Structure 1
Amino acid sequence: MNLVLGIILWSIIAFALLCLFVYLTLPWIFKKFVSPFFNASYIYNSRDFKKKEKIFSEQINTPKLSINPNNGIFQISFGNNRNLSDGIIKFHSKGYYYSNSRRLSKKTRLLNLIKSSREESDDVLGNFEKTILEYELADHNVQIIASIKQYRNQNYVIFELTFPDGLSDTTTGKFEDLIVSFPSFYNDSPNKRIFTYREAIFCPPSRKLNPTSAPVVLYDNELNCMIICPLDGFLNTMISEDKEGRINCGIQGEITSLPENFSQKFILYFGKGINDPMEEVGNLLLRYHNSERKDLYADIVCSHLGYWTDNGAYYYYKTEKGLNYEDTLVAIKDYLKKEDIPIRYFNFDSWWYLKHTNKAFTTIFRPIVRLMGGGLYGNTLRWETDPENFSTDLKTFYEERFQTPITAHNRRWDSRSPYLDEYDFITYKNHACPLNLDFWEWLMQHAQESGIVVYEQDWMNNQINSIPYLREDINAIERWLNSMAVAAKNNKIDVFYCMETPGITLYSIKHPNITITRCSGDYNHRWPLTYRYVHSTQTNILIHSVGLISHPDVFRSRSMEGISMRPFGEKSPILKCLYQNLNAGPICPGDKKEHVNWQLLKKTCRDDGLLLKPDKALTANDLMFKPHKKYYICDTYIKREELIWRFILITNIWPNRVKETYITPEELGYNWDNYILYDYFAQKIEKVNREQAINIGKLEKYGYKYYILNPILENGISFIGAVDKFIPCSKKQIVDLNSNPNSLKFVVKDVKGAKLKILLYSERKPEKIYLNDHPLDFTKSIGEYWNYGEGKLLSIFLNFKEDTSKTVEIII
């Protein structure tokens, strides 16, 4: 008996020690083995700088198309020794591959070109000449029509392949083996570097062309690029590279048939850079689908400060001691109100509804479950309050006790859900998915009545992978997502995508109320910056390209600087908060209620919680994708007509790679001759030109610098803004700004109680300054006044006794 007890005791101790070892080594494991799979930027190699610099031929971004009249095989030339060659059609049906090329495997049957023609026309993308190639499968009586559109004086080409009769028995049996490929070509050009995204949750960036539904950027060391991207059918399209180096663009291999008149479309774009070309391709997709970029302030989740309880937050599957979730939420809300912290909505994560859960397992292993993101809790049974956490339904709780807008999480459905008794779901084993509109109308009406303003659909890729029908029927995924979005819109609810793939991200352009998507994995204060930060700043390039709002997840705002023992605290709350603000999406503190750091959070918003944003999400600068020796540099901007303010976040993520601790505006792609550089945390100002080196200095590991490059106006003034905010010149606070050679006029909007210091640089001391058409006092120490002093700095102090706008005019 004693021996058995001893074995049990030592087993428990060994297991506890193993858990402790794993916990302590996780950051190192993530840095060493996980993070490299979430980075597509350049990796420093000293040999790249010892080689003789290779001179590449000029890329011509208006491509030339040539087509073989006998078989329709095409070639595209875009400069000397820059070609896309052996462009063919290939597809699979009834166990055979068919192609218009004789060079493929002997098992491939030949397509016969029966007719070719040309026509001129125009569409939303411009005037074009279209080459139409008609093929026929004689033994199957199947017609195939390929077309290539060349747009006049434009840098893009569109490929379309249509099956008027449909196509049966298409599956190849493997998702990655395409059933249709057009275009399919060899890349005979210097553009061998790859920037794309893996076909995985949160769209991880990648340097390898594994099968993906994402746009693929092929570029050289000078960032001459071409981008191949789906134009439609995003949820089943795939781009891959075979063993021979042929790039294939088509449909994933598990689709079993194509309906009559099915067509696939891809766009091929030529340009220079990474960020701008991706944005331009996104603009083309938006134009083609008659869609628009989402407003950065589309809903209250996007526009105001919120409180989050998802994975990484203090209250994730955890309540206040002695309270259930219902009472915990009310306690948090009441505390934040008492402290005048303007939380305008709450996030309810997966803890709030009923799931198919092994209660004993999740209780015993709760720390592991919290770390794993709640995935071990199982599928959704009822999207209704869990009676262990709430005394009533969500509608009653919202109306009687909470009365605060909610963004609510959902995950994959369970086939044992009672909803299957009332509505049609497709099922496989324990998984289910509702495709029809009637269920979603019921769900979204229930959500709207319960105070939910944004519906978060999580586990999206998991849902697709768990049910074969979603991968076999060409229309199934779109039916699911379309029903969800339409029903949400009918009930005035926006949709937030999580654990999405690149194709799902592209699909969002089809619905105006799909507003937010996640840009990285779940938050944990112990994850290294090499993981989530690098991932998100590169995935943001894709998210911004299609006009979505990026969400980097919850974070802990409590300051832990100066605390020697901080194993459970966020080590870099200022950096994480600054990053969330620069990300131009939701800002999501998830601290224990007493630890919410309002003094830090107020740098991101007005006193009423309205967020102050740049114009786009923070992304890795183009320089990061070509050979360099710099820190990791990301940037965003605010544009006001021809004026651009640049916000630059520099981090020392890979210290051993950094050999140059300076940058120039020119290296970062900025074209103005002169700027005023504002070092935000050092509060220093320097006038710099585009070729001038900005000395960053040596940063400690994970150290950072935050610079703002401000344009110098024609009158010698540079407007910096309200410098107590991370984004000093946000359009929601500085709502108007106009200048001429002799004056500058701007309008500041804020709320009652706000006290602002507006900082400017001016080559000359102003003659007069007017506030709302009245002279403003010079060098007072209280109230509203202005002063001009050392370093040519002009400070204007404003007090708001009510919610209002104030107009300031500076006369030089």
Structure 2
Amino acid sequence: MESPKLLEVELSLVLIFICCLSLPVDSYDTGSQLTWSIKDDGSYSFHAGMDQDHFTLNNADVFLQSNGKTYGSGDASLKLTGAKAISGGDATGTYEGTVYDYVAGSTRMSAQIAIYNGGEYVRFTQSFPTGVKGCNVSFLEDVLSSFPSFHIAHTNTTSNLGYLNMYGDMVGYFYAIGDIKTGDDRIRGGLRAGPLVLFDDRGNTVVMSSFSSFMSHNMQYDTKSGVVRFGVMGDVTEIPMHYQVNTILYYSDSGINQAIENWGRVLTTKYHKKSSIMEADFSINYLGYYTDNGAYYYYKTEPNKTYDVTMLDVVAYAASKDIPYGYLQYDSWWYYKGIGNGVKNWTSRPDIFPKGMDKLYEDNGLPVVAHNRYWSSDTTYAKQNGGKYNFYVETEKAIPADTNFWKDLIRSSKTWGLITYEQDWLDREFLDLKITRSNITVANNWLKEMGEAASECDVTIQYCMALPRHIMQSVEIQAVTQARVSGDYHPGNSQWKIGVTSMFAHALYIAPYKDTFWTTTVQSGSPYGLSTEPNTALQAAISTLSKGPVGPSDGIGNTDRNLLMKCCRLDGLILKPSRPITSTDETIMKLAFPAMEGSANAEAEVYTTYSDIHVYSSSKQFMLRFGILLITDLTTAGYSVAPSAMYLDKINMETKMYKAFQGHPGTDTKIYDVDATGMLSIPKCGVKDFQLWHLSPVVSMGNSTLVILGEREKWVPVSSRRITGVEMKDGNFLIDLQGKPTEVITMDFLLDTNLVSVSCTVPDSGTTRVSVHSKTCFYT
């Protein structure tokens, strides 16, 4: 099949496009479309951008390992027996394409190409009507089947072509960014690899990843040939009849962030995952106290006290300082461990909680986020060890294979306050067991059964040390709402750099979690010796702007309340932006193309996000978008950022002017004019004096103009968690606010260039309204 935009027509198959099959799709900007060439001899190519020579992906070989032998299209041992046109539709739109039938000895394989919505994205499907036996390969990081496959190191392009290769745990935290022409040897496939993003310096971006069978799908990259292949992971010994593996190729000409977000919307639409469960998750929305690695009380208590007393003292201290912790996180120090330091029994030890977890919950009244790790081979839950549940048990580790196990475990844990189950060490549970790599369905069932039990018990799940495949699998698991996107926090380290991993988590409706942090620099007696945290403000700001959980971990008496409360309301509800803060496209491109002009230095971390506020009047309704910019390690003189880098051009179509002000370090108190098509100039900065800037749109009504500056002492001055709406009425601007009763809210505005500051005390109803013109509060 060939795109109608191509001049050279090689179409030999008649493709039928059935418009009436179009189905509703979640709203998102689809950007531009691919052009393509698909032939009945099994060859295909895809072109990104108007100039097909600019960014072209040409097919490589198709192969299948069956009965101990490799059958490939290159030597014709994998025989193409037919090709036919297909068309149809599903939740993501309508498609047309081609299906190829192959034979590998006595094994059949079909390979399908389906192009959706005229070229928005492509679905590649491998299916095995007869199943496959004897299919595992010698090197498990490889694939045992290959379709699609592309030559990328020798891609036909007249300009720069970069890559972003997600890799490793914490949602691919060990990713690589580079230029295909000079650094493709850093692209890695295998069990730890995730989505592969290709991009040029014009904004054309392709995202390639699994599209189904997420735990068994694999990517392989051959550095010698420059070929990327997608298929079944290499250690699988048998593929059941009619099994399918899908791969997606998504294209956008609107840049890297937009392409990844659009790619995620296709996945979440296909698998019916909604953002509402994530948005309602208590442990994401409210301030919590953490005890994980990096925390003051990680495997440490107060002197001569047990853990339960220490936790009660933490709660008492917080109450004395009016710090509104909404929950406590218990890490791996509280349960029984067995062989290989895995979990033997997930119940509390009497030396940790002498009165039991139920009693502790009763005494402190705070719900719990509870950590768990991989299961030990001597776990008391397994039938092999006298328990009552089905497990696969190997030398050191085990894995549940029993829906009732998860239901019983999570249901019983709610008695001591469990609201979020934290599944840590996901990478080791998957990689270290033979059964999860050789059996094509075990890993998938493990995660789904865990998720189904959590949903049934109204408990959410946080993934930790998740490989990209775990995060991909979460699109089928509603209960998974959050995931760690960074390495472990330790006082003074730089694991706050989450701008790239947050892009992928957010795209799949997963709230990115930066991990814990300290709010004061020196905390004597900590488990980390002389370690200090010099960048407390940056840690707090990134944690808040991530849109994920915010969980500090100071020792008793060491919390900087003023710094901490910059994240939230008095009731602990976190004042979040509308989107997690992420690296800008320019930041990623600069790492790939160091010679790129007009950009920040390669070491600079440039992150942006925004907040959306609903505005209405008798005649119209619209959204206002407020920009947020954070930069560290900027050594480039005269560096400037456009409002479009904060996505302001996507919503504020009629806005001609913005007002900009500095949120940190706060030494610049001026308010600057920034034209909608202009630039905001940023001074040089390091980490401690990082630059945080806010852009507010100028709104006109009659002869008046309004700029909402918001709560300028907060990390997010304008948040929908505080401002629920703006009404334009009778020549006045009315701002609806919410908060904790007795809380004093101070909002700043510019009214016709005059600075207006209004303070309201929240009444018992929790809501109030500000009249900007009269500078008064209406209590409801």
TM-score, reference length from structure 1: 0.81
Query: Cα distance 1:660–1:131, how it changes in 2: closer, same or farther (>3 A)?
Result: same
Number of the residue aligned with 1:96: 69
Contact 1:637 1:647 in 2 (8 A): yes
Q: What one-letter code is carried by the residue in structure 1 that aligns with 2:52?
A: N
Per-residue deviation at 1:660?
Answer: 4.3
Contact 2:95 2:118 in 1 (8 A): no
Number of the residue aligned with 1:514: 480
Per-residue deviation at 1:740?
Answer: 7.2
Q: What CA distance in whole angstroms lies between the structure 2 residues aligned with 1:793 and 1:255?
A: 66
- For the residue of structure 2 that corresponds to 1:321, the secondary structure is coil
Q: What CA distance in whole angstroms lies between the structure 2 residues aligned with 1:629 and 1:725?
A: 26
Q: What CA distance in whole angstroms lies between the structure 2 residues aligned with 1:730 and 1:67?
A: 48
1:555 to 517, 525, 531: 517
Number of the residue aligned with 1:490: 456
Number of the residue aligned with 2:316: 334
Q: What one-letter code is carried by the residue in structure 2 that aligns with 1:304?
A: Y
**Percent identical across equivalent pairs?**
25
1:592 and 2:555 are equivalent in the alignment: yes
Deviations 1:303-323 (A, max 9, x none): 111111111111111101110
Q: What CA distance in whole angstroms lies between the structure 2 residues aligned with 1:748 and 1:265?
A: 47
1:578 and 2:541 are equivalent in the alignment: yes
1:63 and 2:34 are equivalent in the alignment: yes
Contact 2:612 2:719 in 1 (8 A): no
Gaps of 5+ in 1: 1-59, 103-108, 358-376, 765-790
Contact 2:330 2:369 in 1 (8 A): yes
1:687 and 2:669 are equivalent in the alignment: no
Query: Cα distance 1:67–1:80, how it changes in 2: closer, same or farther (>3 A)?
Result: closer
Number of the residue aligned with 1:675: 658
1:757 and 2:728 are equivalent in the alignment: no
- Give the alignment of 1:729-808 within 5 angstroms: 729-739=718-728, 742-762=731-751, 764=752, 792-808=754-770
Q: What CA distance in whole angstroms lies between the structure 2 residues aligned with 1:317 and 1:230?
A: 39
Contact 1:550 1:584 in 2 (8 A): yes
Contact 1:714 1:741 in 2 (8 A): no
Q: Which has the larger radius of gyration?
A: 1
- For the residue of structure 2 that corresponds to 1:643, the secondary structure is strand
Q: What CA distance in whole angstroms lies between the structure 2 residues aligned with 1:701 and 1:68?
A: 54
Q: What one-letter code is carried by the residue in structure 1 that aligns with 2:208?
A: I
Contact 1:89 1:100 in 2 (8 A): yes
Number of the residue aligned with 1:409: 371
Contact 2:538 2:688 in 1 (8 A): no
Query: Cα distance 1:115–1:568, how it changes in 2: closer, same or farther (>3 A)?
Result: closer
2:395 to 418, 429, 450: 429
1:262 to 243, 266, 287: 243
- Give the alignment of 1:391-540 within 5 angstroms: 391-399=354-362, 401-420=363-382, 421-422=386-387, 423-527=389-493, 529=494, 532-534=495-497, 536-540=498-502
Contact 1:713 1:739 in 2 (8 A): no
Query: Cα distance 1:690–1:83, how it changes in 2: closer, same or farther (>3 A)?
Result: same
Per-residue deviation at 1:255?
Answer: 1.0
1:230 and 2:210 are equivalent in the alignment: yes
Per-residue deviation at 1:184?
Answer: 0.8
Query: Cα distance 1:379–1:406, how it changes in 2: closer, same or farther (>3 A)?
Result: same
Q: What CA distance in whole angstroms lies between the structure 2 residues aligned with 1:666 and 1:801?
A: 38
Q: What CA distance in whole angstroms lies between the structure 1 residues aligned with 2:768 and 2:566?
A: 20
Per-residue deviation at 1:224?
Answer: 1.6
Deviations 1:72-116 (A, max 9, x none): 2222234331322235422212222223334xxxxxx52222222
Number of the residue aligned with 1:637: 610
Contact 2:111 2:125 in 1 (8 A): yes
Q: What CA distance in whole angstroms lies between the structure 1 residues aligned with 2:288 and 2:332?
A: 17
Query: Cα distance 1:97–1:660, how it changes in 2: closer, same or farther (>3 A)?
Result: farther
Query: Cα distance 1:67–1:110, how it changes in 2: closer, same or farther (>3 A)?
Result: farther
Per-residue deviation at 1:265?
Answer: 0.8
Per-residue deviation at 1:673?
Answer: 3.9
Contact 1:543 1:549 in 2 (8 A): yes
Number of the residue aligned with 1:16: none
Deviations 1:598-621 (A, max 9, x none): 222211111111111111211111
TM-score, reference length from structure 2: 0.84
Deviations 1:316-365 (A, max 9, x none): 111011101121111222222233221111000001111138xxxxxxxx
Per-residue deviation at 1:544?
Answer: 0.6
Deviations 1:483-503 (A, max 9, x none): 111112222211110000001
Q: What one-letter code is carried by the residue in structure 1 that aligns with 2:243?
A: F
Per-residue deviation at 1:559?
Answer: 5.2
Per-residue deviation at 1:295?
Answer: 4.6
Number of the residue aligned with 2:114: 149
Name whichever structure is richer in helix by fraction: 1
Contact 1:652 1:703 in 2 (8 A): no
Gaps of 5+ in 2: 1-30, 178-185, 524-528, 590-595, 614-621, 650-654, 775-780
Deviations 1:1-30 (A, max 9, x none): xxxxxxxxxxxxxxxxxxxxxxxxxxxxxx
Query: Cα distance 1:419–1:86, how it changes in 2: closer, same or farther (>3 A)?
Result: closer
Q: What one-letter code is carried by the residue in structure 1 that aligns with 2:329?
A: N
Q: What CA distance in whole angstroms lies between the structure 1 residues aligned with 2:724 and 2:423?
A: 34
What is the RMSD of the two structures over their aligned residues, measured on CA atoms?
Answer: 2.3
1:350 to 317, 332, 347: 332
Q: What one-letter code is carried by the residue in structure 2 that aligns with 1:80?
A: Q
Query: Cα distance 1:150–1:322, how it changes in 2: closer, same or farther (>3 A)?
Result: same
